[in-house]
Structure 1
Amino acid sequence: MRHHDVVVIGAGSGNMMVDDSFAGLDVAIVEERAFGGTCLNVGCIPSKMLAYTAEVAEVVRGAGPLGVDATLRGMRWTDVRDRVFDRVDADSVEGRAAREDSDFVTVYSGHARFVGPRSLQIELGAESVAVEADQIVIAAGGRPTVPPPVLESCLPFETSDSIMRIDAPPRRLAVLGGGYIAAELAEVFAAAGSDVVIIEQAEQLLGPQDESITGEYTELARHRFELHLGRELTQLEGEAGALRLTLDDGTRLTADTLLVAVGRTPNSDRLDLGAAGISTHDDGRIVVDEYQRTDVEGVFALGDSCAPYQLKHVANREAEVVAHNLRHPDDLIATDLDVVPAAVFTNPQIASVGATEQDCREAGADYVVGTARYADVAYGWAMEDRTGFCKVLAERGSGRLLGAHLMGPQAATLIQPLVLAMTLGIDARTLAKRPYWIHPALTEVVSNALLALDD
């Protein structure tokens, strides 16, 4: 049995945690797919590169109100796709090569499963190797969830793992799901020329968002997509390129391509965790403490395999925590998940942090709401933006920020001052009054929302 000081299962954020400070150790990384994990290969990076291209297309399409005569002649899909994946794939290959050339890292290109508390069997094609380690880090990520009606049909379908690499935009794309992955990819393919229909079991899109966001975004989406909300897929029939979908109310839809985007499942169920005695939550996530330790000594976990937030910046922070704790067992640091921002790169962009208004109501919080619209600030006039807004929630009296929600251009950037304030304990009045806010920049929509709390 081969012995290592540290074995990392997964080469996404798990790979990123292994820096030169590990050079004195014998480290192994196990990865059965491409280096870089979900984010680099099939997630954050390619989807946002495509989303930006879609945004550019929409700017051209909507240039008329600004007095610019522009015609969108179309998106050269294969050029767009190749620009994205030529760069992404090269980075993944370089990442693997760098590890394989390392003096202190061994790369196993295969699938690992536990056979004991700190013992693994790694399948390497037709062969396998037994490995044990003093410390193991589980960073195995997750995968798209596929509901039974789709699996049982035995018909072809796409997920976020595959659809961004297709050869041509679908003529008519059916999207199953209404969360952030579904919304972002629907926007991309609509901009590329696809006729998009969305089926979502909730009554609104982007359900976990603040009620103001879900309400306004859903109404905007009605003008761009065919929506079937509050509905579930019960049957998938037809053949490749000519699919027939039946919904629970009897509605029948047709599409040449089906994108399944109903959520993601942790890959923990593929690791035989029971053989190691590692506990999981009911949803499959690995149980960890604030130091990212599992309930088995010497075994840590990070990222989508354990985190309550399936976000790359959370996985990266957890990787930093694990890297420190592996090397400094007498000086452990904890992961702080109190203030975690997130963004949805749709058109318009959406960003959020902290509590929603419905969270505040359910918790019985004594709170106030401040809202400002892009249309009421000078740069919003310049953009002719009539839909964007910023909404902040604060504790009455103290002004402690409880949550913030933006919808509009650059929302993912504009939310950062509010993230900093919530993280550092800066109250709403101080944030609004102490720093200068550039005029006429879009950040004024944030400062105006903060000032509106006083009203």
Structure 2
Amino acid sequence: MNYDLIVLGSGPGGYVAAIRASQLGLKTAIIEKEKVGGVCLNIGCIPSKALIHQAETFSRIKELEYMGIKIDKGEFDYKKVFEKSRKAADTLSKGVQFLLKKNKIELIQGFGQLISKNEIKVNDKIYSAKNILLATGSKPKSIPGFDIDEKQILSSNGALMLEKLPKSIAIIGSGVIGIEFSYIMNAFGVGVHIIEIMDRILPTEDLEIAEFLEKVYKKRNIKIYKSTKSKIIEKTENSIKLEVNGKDIIEVEKVLVAVGRSPNTENIGLETVGIELENEYVKVGNYYKTNVENIYAIGDIVKTPQLAHVASKEGEIVVEHIAGLETEEFIDLNKIPSAIYSEPQIASFGLTEEKLKELKIEYNKFSFPYRGVGKSVAIEKSEGFVKILTDKTTNEILGAHIIGAEATELIHEVLLAKNAELLPEDIAKMIHAHPTLSEGIMEAFRGIEGWAIHI
């Protein structure tokens, strides 16, 4: 065998697994058909967060104007924003290439296909390994009637590569991708229409969080259509007319299809070696093993949350298992943090209130408003709340849901407490620096205990 491990795909799941494998003494190679870093670094998480940062900066013009500073927005050039996002992506992709080289991992450029349980073919050359890890990621889903051309009808890939903003856009889908792009576009002055087939936005988040964000977005003149199907009734070179609700007509320059992502499982040789699929996804058991003993699969091609940090952790579990270390068999889904970079930000983990009701679990609940946190008022970020859910009998932390400034950072204090099996009183009694946003976490847990101070 050439290698102890070959990883197919260099996204956050693949490259993290390869580096961890090398650290554990496994001779490792990684195969990548495009840029190192996968979708996340190149056309996903990183460039989108760069755009969000620029959108936040642009939004602060109003604060400067309040101070009497006059700003001429006539010279605004979105292409400069786009270029910054590409620079961030390119910098990190090069950083990952450096890490692979530093850890003596061979990078094989090309499209890889399984030809046996121990062999992968790349550019007519065959590489063999004792173990193979599939980490091929995902691609944007399409929907009937909306043929993605990346010019007028965009996927998230096309939206990230825009060098000029449209005057208006319809976003089909209100999951994480749709909500984040809605914020970016609206912040830069684009007219935004969100069209959602479900009866609520952000269907996987806590309902109170979703309803709060909907109110904020509506105040910003983002049009939201729920329980709505749409279809294109006319398309010209410069505009698209959509019928919504079977009667209303909206006209936009572009449409973004943001209805989720499909696993990249085609043409990689799964059928050649007999790997089982389940609704397009690779079927895995403990340690993310497929039904073929020495082949593993992680990330967006398995039925776990399609999140970069989930893929990375799954990759670590796989290689630690291969190396003979004692490790968990799989990720506890109730301990996975979710992060949405809207404005305000949203972060959560664990069970939602709706799920607790469905499971008939008796629970305690407390929500502490951001306006009760001194720092949030001082920095003019007082929209939002911290919501904590605990077991009524044991007081165990069952879930946390935050909407507000820096929510994506704050959630980890609560998740650490959950992992350490701490109780609400442990956080409630811990000294938090003043003034900080984290005081909202402390107050929420004091509220669970019945003695919140600043409300």
Corresponding position: 1:158 with 2:158? no
Residue ranges of structure 1 left out of the alignment (5+ in a row): none
Question: CA–CA distance in 2 between the matches of 1:373 and 1:103?
Answer: 50
1:451 equivalent in structure 2: 446
Change in 2 beyond 3 A, CA 1:153/1:180: closer
SS in 2 for 1:52: helix
2:264 to 263, 267, 273: 267
Question: CA–CA distance in 2 between the matches of 1:71 and 1:347?
Answer: 25
Corresponding position: 1:317 with 2:313? yes
2:84 equivalent in structure 1: 83
Change in 2 beyond 3 A, CA 1:147/1:236: farther
CA RMSD of aligned residues (A): 2.6
* Aligned AA (1:447): M
* Aligned AA (2:331): D
Corresponding position: 1:107 with 2:108? yes
Question: CA–CA distance in 1 between the matches of 2:350 and 2:103?
Answer: 41
Q: Contact 1:28 / 1:108 at 8 angstroms: preserved in 2?
A: no
1:376 to 372, 377, 394: 372
**When the two structures are superposed, what TM-score results if normalisation uses the length of structure 2?**
0.90
Deviation at 1:213, TM superposition (A): 0.4
2:230 equivalent in structure 1: 233
SS in 1 for 2:335: coil
* Aligned AA (1:44): C
2:184 equivalent in structure 1: 188
Aligned residues: 444
Q: Which moves more between the two structures, 220-229 or 346-355? A: 220-229
Change in 2 beyond 3 A, CA 1:6/1:369: same
2:298 to 271, 296, 302: 302
Residues 117-141 of structure 1 show CA distances to partners (whole Å, capped at 9, x for unaligned) of 333343x4xxx33444321110001
1:61 equivalent in structure 2: 62
Deviation at 1:45, TM superposition (A): 1.0
Residues 375-415 of structure 1 show CA distances to partners (whole Å, capped at 9, x for unaligned) of 12222332344531111001114221111111111111121
1:16 equivalent in structure 2: 16
Q: Which moves more between the two structures, 372-381 or 330-339? A: 330-339
Q: Contact 1:240 / 1:256 at 8 angstroms: preserved in 2?
A: no
Corresponding position: 1:257 with 2:258? no
Q: Which moves more between the two structures, 41-50 or 19-28? A: 19-28
Q: Contact 2:2 / 2:127 at 8 angstroms: preserved in 1?
A: yes
2:241 to 232, 239, 244: 244
Q: Which moves more between the two structures, 330-339 or 224-233? A: 330-339
Q: Contact 1:153 / 1:236 at 8 angstroms: preserved in 2?
A: no
Q: Contact 2:263 / 2:281 at 8 angstroms: preserved in 1?
A: yes
2:432 to 433, 437, 440: 437
Change in 2 beyond 3 A, CA 1:387/1:331: closer
Change in 2 beyond 3 A, CA 1:153/1:38: closer
Residue ranges of structure 2 left out of the alignment (5+ in a row): 451-455
Deviation at 1:421, TM superposition (A): 1.0
Structure 2 matches for 1:350-369, cutoff 5 A? 350-369=346-365
Q: Contact 2:365 / 2:448 at 8 angstroms: preserved in 1?
A: yes
Q: Contact 1:25 / 1:104 at 8 angstroms: preserved in 2?
A: no
Change in 2 beyond 3 A, CA 1:83/1:152: closer
2:164 to 153, 168, 191: 168
Deviation at 1:106, TM superposition (A): 4.6
Deviation at 1:339, TM superposition (A): 0.5
Question: CA–CA distance in 2 between the matches of 1:278 and 1:200?
Answer: 35
Deviation at 1:241, TM superposition (A): 2.8
Q: Which moves more between the two structures, 225-234 or 246-255? A: 246-255
**When the two structures are superposed, what TM-score results if normalisation uses the length of structure 1?**
0.90
Question: CA–CA distance in 2 between the matches of 1:99 and 1:448?
Answer: 44
Question: CA–CA distance in 2 between the matches of 1:94 and 1:400?
Answer: 40
Q: Contact 1:266 / 1:305 at 8 angstroms: preserved in 2?
A: yes
1:6 equivalent in structure 2: 5
Q: Contact 1:372 / 1:445 at 8 angstroms: preserved in 2?
A: yes
* Aligned AA (1:449): A
Question: CA–CA distance in 2 between the matches of 1:291 and 1:218?
Answer: 39
Question: CA–CA distance in 1 between the matches of 2:281 and 2:328?
Answer: 21
1:407 equivalent in structure 2: 403
1:334 to 305, 329, 332: 329
> % of aligned pairs identical?
26
Question: CA–CA distance in 2 between the matches of 1:359 and 1:451?
Answer: 24
1:38 equivalent in structure 2: 39
